[in-house]
Structure 1
Amino acid sequence: MLCGVLPAGAAAGCSRDGGDAEATGPVRLLVFGAPEELQAYRTLVGAYAEKHPGREIQLIEASDRKDLLARLSTSIAGGAAPELFLMNYRFYGQFAVKDAIDPLDERIAASTLVNPADYYPVAMDAFKWRGRQLCLPQNVSSLAVYYNRTLFEKHGVPLPKPGWTWNDLLTTATAMTRDAAGGVIRGTESEGAARRPAVHGLGIEPSIIRLAPFVWSNDGEIVDDPARPTRLTLDNPPAKEALKNLIDLRLAYGVVPTDEEVESEDDESRFANGRLAMLLSSRRSTTTFRSITGFEWDVAPLPVYRRPAGILHSDAYCMTRGGANKQAAWNFLEYAVSAEGQKIIAATGRTVPSHIAVSTSEAFLGPAQPPRSAKVFLDAIGSVRALPTVSTWPEIEDVTGGILENALYRGDRLDDVVRELDEQTRPLFARGEYPR
């Protein structure tokens, strides 16, 4: 049977109706996501329950990433950790350093369903900690540009295409920033009350994970040592140029919504409602956008400065050391990352499968549902890079996010932004621990 979805604090009181001796109770799986993403995981759990009656999976649904981290930390500290959790590689280091994750190497070696050679190395490597495979990745997404094809064709603006540049992105975003009558609004005209944009050309989160691929594309670096970073290096000319171009999107060109507009309607909702022409996001937005009925949308690769570069977005199933039903947890984990499990989750639109054969199959590339250009995600894999794995990275993201948000919406001086980013993050790097 499929155990009901319960909040994190609820007791694991699901009834059992049989199963092998290894599965002695419900396996708790902690996840977070938008409603459409959570439904994708319910679909996977349902398929597993149908195939293995009596093996119960209890989904614990966090409201967002911060909630997931807080719940996991609290449950581990209290001795009531869920057997499994799904987490991005950028955040698992804080649990790895506390030895709270059970390594999977021996289980993988004995498995008939999981062969490391079947998975994209960049995703597998992101979850290796001091020589051990701590978690198994379900996806290997990259950042892409979602765009409203119907709106582009309405205004006769050329569609985004492979090989386009940052200047092309800016020109396109300017051409797609329109008032209620369909007229183009340029730069500071958007500040006039009479000409507020009805559609903005671009949505981009002011964060280090959005900035990084453009710094790399411009032959710059965001840290001094990718393996053991001690500081951000956004003061180098290529990185500084990419940062300036990001900051200029709001006050210099007016192609992105204001902070007040984003607070009232986030970029993903704005795109789904037809009021945003382009959005930079990972594969996770696909599940939400497949509910769109009012227009056609698609994806394009990131624009290029000097060379193609992307940023890895990968989530993995991790097994806690304190979980009560480890073998039962492994049974589900093994199924979830196997070819069969990944085909199921790929069909929901949520993931770019980390399983190579599944990613190139109809389960992912099939034309039945958008995006029609799904291969964009696969084409990017060869140029994606992972951010540093450091135990304090969640704090680094939070601090840099606040500074970059102020820079984008307030127009802070570039040199002040660079200095503040460095000063505020150095102590966080200094007390961080690394996978090797």
Structure 2
Amino acid sequence: MHMRRGVLLALGLAGVMVTTACGGGGGTGTSGGARDTGGTVTLDWEMWAGSEDEKAQLDHLAALVTQKHPAIKVNLRTAPFNDYFTKLQTEFAAGKQPCVVSMQSLRLSAYADLLEPLDGKADVQGFAPAALQALKLGGKQLALPYDLASMLLYYNKDAFTKAGVAEPKSGWTVADFEQAAKKLSTGGKAGFGMSFADLHTLSMLLSYNGAQPVTPDVKLQFDSRPMVDALTWYAGLATAKAALVPASSSDVGWGETQFVNGNAMMAVDGSWNIGSALKDAKFAVGFAPLPAGSGGSKTYLAASGFGVAKGCPYPAEAAQAVSVLTGPDAQAYLAGQGRSFPSRTDQQAAYEEFLVKQDPKNAEAVRGAIASVKDGLAGGVPLFTTKNWDSVGKLMAQYLIRVYTGDQSPQDALATIQQQSARGQ
């Protein structure tokens, strides 16, 4: 895959605070767009890219806009993923934001006041409903999605076979998961690799009993009873010697790394790492939905997409560009490049075809993975976050590891996260 391991994992350390936006003017435009004497509008588009291959893919999308709308040109500006949102924050504060803004769902609340609603301005037909919902806030469609991600249970098929444990499948329960994790914890290996990354950890808590760290109106509720009960269960996996605990609070990708390295027989990871896990693991990899708790199997969903900045002097043209960048042709192209699981339902088969062609010997595993992704989408919900989610993520790493090692109770740790985070919502 072109999606590097950890790129979407950084969703878990999201939430850049943005406090100011400068409005744009008319005329030739000074905030992300300009019109030449021939009437052609040039729009700045900001996007993350980590390689020349990724930039070439984005250049292809920019060219699609001009093919569809000859009077619109797109000027691509890129930054490495780890620098992208810091750069974007600075540009908004200085009134130098691009017209077309690339956005991730977990960061949406920090930019909600800086993006033009696209309702009635762009075509939303053909998208998976969950993808649109992930980039909607306050009832407003603030960006259109180009990808969609869910969390899966990755497992070591060879280890399950050797231990005589039935492999996970749709409908697999929390009790089944616990029994397997205990039986697979032998010979210095662990049945499960734990995490404190938000999508990974919070999805397991959600699937266990429906616990959610944020209220429907996007207020933190880390200290709620369901969160305490779910974390008590999750931390109990370590107490029962059925899971590996991260070595330190800086090991955000611990569980999935230990899985690929063969030290943990199961881990939670995102749909974006299907291809890389099949390629990097030295054993047969299987995929399944997260274990089902009292309300069935659940997962949090995330999406990336493109919006239009307030202050863009040409919002109508920018909305047209966004429609092309997230349109069927663009998504079919990205799926064929293996960049991400498409947000448009008609293009999702092309992504599966890419993964199969990339690794034909694992075609059955790929099909199982995509089936599990779709299972997750059916029972999944977007993870909406507060504006200070970056701080929340750091506090999760700091205090959850204390819970996993038995140094602090789940109730006290969650109360501390709630208290220290609530001030910056």
Q: Could you say which TM-score interval applies, normalised by the shorter chain?
A: 0.7 to 0.9
Output the amino acid matched with 1:372. R
Amino acid at match of 2:416: E
Distance 1:135 1:264 in 2: 28
Query: 1:255 corresponds to which letter in structure 2?
Result: A
1:319 aligns with 2:336: no
Kindly provide the amino acid, as one letter, of the partner of residue 45 in structure 1. D
Q: CA contact under 8 A between 1:76 and 1:322: conserved in structure 2?
A: no
What SS does structure 1 have at the residue aligned with 2:238?
A: helix
Question: Contact 2:154/2:269 (CA < 8 Å) preserved in 1?
Answer: yes
Corresponding residue of 1:399: 395
Question: Is 1:124 matched up with 2:132?
Answer: yes
Distance 1:148 1:245, change over 3 A: same
Look up the equivalent residue of 1:104 and give its one-letter code: L
Match of 1:22 in 2: 40
DSSP 3-state at the match of 1:86: strand
What whole-Å deviation, never above 9, does each CA across 1:199-237 have from its counterpart, x for those lacking one?
Answer: 4432332144334334443444435741253x415441x
Q: Deviation per CA, 1:140-169: give whole Å up to 9, x if none.
A: 321111223344445544322111122322
Aligned equivalent of 1:138: 146
State the alpha-carbon separation in 2 of the partners of residues 175 and 318 from structure 1.
Answer: 48
Whether the 8 Å CA contact 1:142–1:381 is kept in 2: the answer is yes
Instruction: Give the aligned residue type for 2:111.
Output: F
**What is aligned with 1:111?**
none
- Within 5 Å, give how 1:127-276 maps onto structure 2: 127-177=135-185, 184-185=186-187, 197=188, 199-223=189-213, 225-229=215-219, 231-232=220-221, 234-236=223-225, 238-260=226-248, 263=251, 266-276=254-264
Distance in 1 (CA, whole Å) between partners of 2:87 and 2:306 is: 16
Cα separation, 2, equivalents of 1:384 and 1:274: 28
CA deviations on 1:341-379 (whole Å, 9 max, x unpaired) are 1122223444332212223x3443674445231121112
Residues 322-345 of structure 1: per-residue CA shift (max 9 Å, x gap): 457767755553233112211222
Corresponding residue for residue 6 of structure 1? none
In 2, Cα distance between equivalents of 1:251 and 1:44: 47
What CA distance in whole angstroms lies between the structure 2 residues aligned with 1:342 and 1:264?
30
Equivalent residues of 1:406, 1:412 under 8 A apart: yes
Q: Distance in 2 between matches of 1:423 and 1:261?
A: 19
Query: Unaligned stretches of 5+ in structure 1?
Result: 1-17, 109-113, 178-183, 186-196
Q: CA deviation at 1:124?
A: 1.4
Shifted more, 238-247 versus 406-415: the winner is 406-415
Q: Deviation of residue 391 (structure 1)?
A: 3.0
The residue aligned with 2:48 is 31
For normalisation by structure 2, the TM-score amounts to 0.75
Question: Against the structure 1 CA distance between its residues 396 and 315, is the aligned structure 2 distance closer, same or farther, given a 3 Å change threshold?
Answer: same
Is the CA contact 1:80–1:322 (under 8 Å) kept in the aligned structure 2? Answer: no
| 1:347 paired to 2:336 | yes
2:296 is the alignment partner of 1:280: no
Secondary structure, in 3 states, of the residue corresponding to 1:118? coil
- Which residue in 2 is equivalent to 1:68? 84
Q: What is the Cα-based RMSD across aligned positions, in Å?
A: 3.5
Q: How far, CA to CA, are the matches of 2:257 and 2:66 in structure 1?
A: 37
Give the Cα separation in 2 of the matches to 1:401 and 1:263: 9
| TM-superposed deviation, 1:383 | 1.4
State the aligned residue count: 376
- The 3 A distance-change label for structure 1 pair 148 and 59 is farther
The answer to whether 1:419 aligns with 2:418 is: no
Greater share of strand residues, 1 or 2?
2
Gaps of 5+ in 2: 1-35
Q: Check 1:47–1:243 CA distance in 2 against 1; reply closer, same or farther (3 A cut).
A: same
SS in 1 for 2:280: coil
Taking every aligned residue pair, what percent have the same amino acid on both sides?
20
Aligned-partner Cα distance in 1 for 2:109–2:63: 31
8 Å contact 1:143–1:310 — kept in the other structure? yes
State how far apart, in whole Å, the 2-side matches of 1:389 and 1:146 are.
25
Question: Residues 46 and 296 (structure 1 numbering): CA distance in 2 closer, same or farther, change over 3 Å?
Answer: farther
Give the conservation status (yes or no) of the 8 Å contact 1:343–1:364. no
SS of 1:375 mapped into structure 2: helix
SS in 2 for 1:92: helix
Equivalent-residue separation in structure 1 for 2:330 and 2:340 (angstroms)? 12
Asked whether the equivalents of residues 47 and 84 of structure 2 are also in contact (C-alpha less than 8 Å), the reply is: yes
Per the TM alignment, residue 241 of structure 1 is displaced from its structure 2 partner at its CA by 2.5
**Does the residue aligned with 1:163 lie in a helix, a strand or coil?**
coil
| One-letter amino acid of the structure 1 residue matched with residue 179 of structure 2 | T
* Structure 2 contact 195–253 (Cα < 8 Å) conserved: no
The answer to whether the 8 Å contact 2:49/2:55 transfers is no
**Which residue number corresponds to residue 94 of structure 1?**
110
Cα contact 2:115–2:309 (8 A) shared by 1: yes
